[in-house]
A and B are shown apart, each in its own frame.
Chain A
């Protein structure tokens, strides 16, 4: 047991909960940066409080400073991983932003169908898969696009194991299936399970979820025809972004496509991927 007495009073003189000390603030910043690559700058320091106080309470600690003391004093406790997972943003939805999925449906999938026709094989990667909606959206799109009798492999990876466990179940709340999922897909690919909705096995077995830290994605599987790496680069510093883009490009098939989040670009980060605009979507193509 770690002795946590003497870390400080529960309340300060004004009756406020003890504030995170300057040193511990820097410690947490570093800890999250090393553990997941995520940069938490001073404008976002409220995130520590918002995301970690539930852990503080659950562990019967008194403050974020106590939590810091705990992880400084212990090596391999589950809470170390939980802190990293609590600090990542997992928000996602089916067919997020629509435009990249429309680009696939209208242009890219028909192109790949012609190109890969003889082998009838397509490999896709959802590189920050979170709870799986993106990977499963790709799976539904492929079935709708007439790829049923193709050899299809969709990889879904994320740094957070707990979110991947959810992804694998393919079970979503009503709120989640309300968001972004066309109702025609809901009735075709889901069954009702009490208050939740269960993706049918037909879709679930198209996707394989595995833990992967994008910063170590150098020798990943591949090559991939389509990579979705959306709404995760924004959290990293420029060096890490550049390195991840290079790693992705190295597993992208010649002529393969990369989709980034709506607020993300390769400007100043990669010189060889080719920008391709499809309607409202921008994707990047690996030169042949």
Chain B
């Protein structure tokens, strides 16, 4: 079974995204900020296929998380998708430059997540 991680400081968002991904057949783990997510990634990393990550979070934000992940060749195949309220075009560009593969602007719907995962080849 494919594995995904949801990183968001909002429990409600983690729940919604987690359920959505489970609905697509993913096994899902969660983290509340970038630092937690990195720790979890180092533990489970080789099994993970996909990370959905928020931008604004305490401890370590999503952009720094993406940069950290991309600096480690071990995770070069990991698909990273930002899911965030940041919608300025400069921010979208910054996320892509840092190495995010896709970008969803909140609010999202399950269809939006599905369409984006299809673009990433993460959903049939």
List A residues at the B interface (Cβ < 8 Å): 93, 95, 98, 174-175, 177-180, 182-184, 186-187, 191-192
Contacts and interface: CB of A to CB of B under 8 A. Distances in A.
B124 to A, nearest CB: 9
Looking at chain B, what size class is its interface with the partner chain? 10 to 19
Contacts of A95: 119
A174 B105 contact: yes
Contacts of A93: 115
Given A174-B87, A174-B105, A192-B88, A180 B119 contact: yes
Given A174-B87, A174-B105, A179 B92 contact: no
Given A98-B119, A174-B105, A179-B111, A184 B89 contact: no
Interface stretch (B42-50, B59-67, B96-104): B96-104
A150 to B, nearest CB: 26
Given A178-B112, A183-B96, A187-B96, A98 B118 contact: yes
A95 B120 CA distance: 13
A180 B115 contact: yes
Contact of A175 (B89, B92, B103, B112): B112
B93 A187 contact: yes
Nearest to A176: B112
A178 B119 CA distance: 12
B117 to A, nearest CB: 11
Given A174-B87, A184-B96, A191-B89, 4 more contacts: A98-B118, A178-B116, A179-B112, A192-B87
A93 B112 CA distance: 10
Interface in B75-114: 87-89, 92-93, 96, 102-105, 107-109, 111-112
A186 B92 contact: yes
18 contacts: A93-B115, A98-B118, A98-B119, A174-B105, A175-B107, A175-B109, A175-B112, A178-B105, A178-B112, A179-B111, A182-B102, A182-B119, A183-B103, A186-B92, A187-B96, A192-B87, A192-B88, A192-B89
A187 B92 contact: yes
Nearest to A177: B105
B93 A178 contact: no
Nearest to B101: A183
B35 to A, nearest CB: 25
Contacts of A186: 92, 103
Contact of A183 (B102, B109, B118): B102
8 smallest A-B Cβ distances: which pairs? Answer: A183-B103, A180-B115, A178-B112, A192-B89, A179-B115, A182-B119, A174-B105, A98-B118
Contacts of B112: 175, 178-179
Contacts of A192: 87-89
A24 to B, nearest CB: 35
B81 to A, nearest CB: 9
Contacts of A187: 89, 92-93, 96
Contacts of A179: 111-112, 115
- Best-surrounded residue of A93, A175, A177, A183 (most CB of chain B within 10 A): A183
B80 to A, nearest CB: 12
A95 B118 CA distance: 11
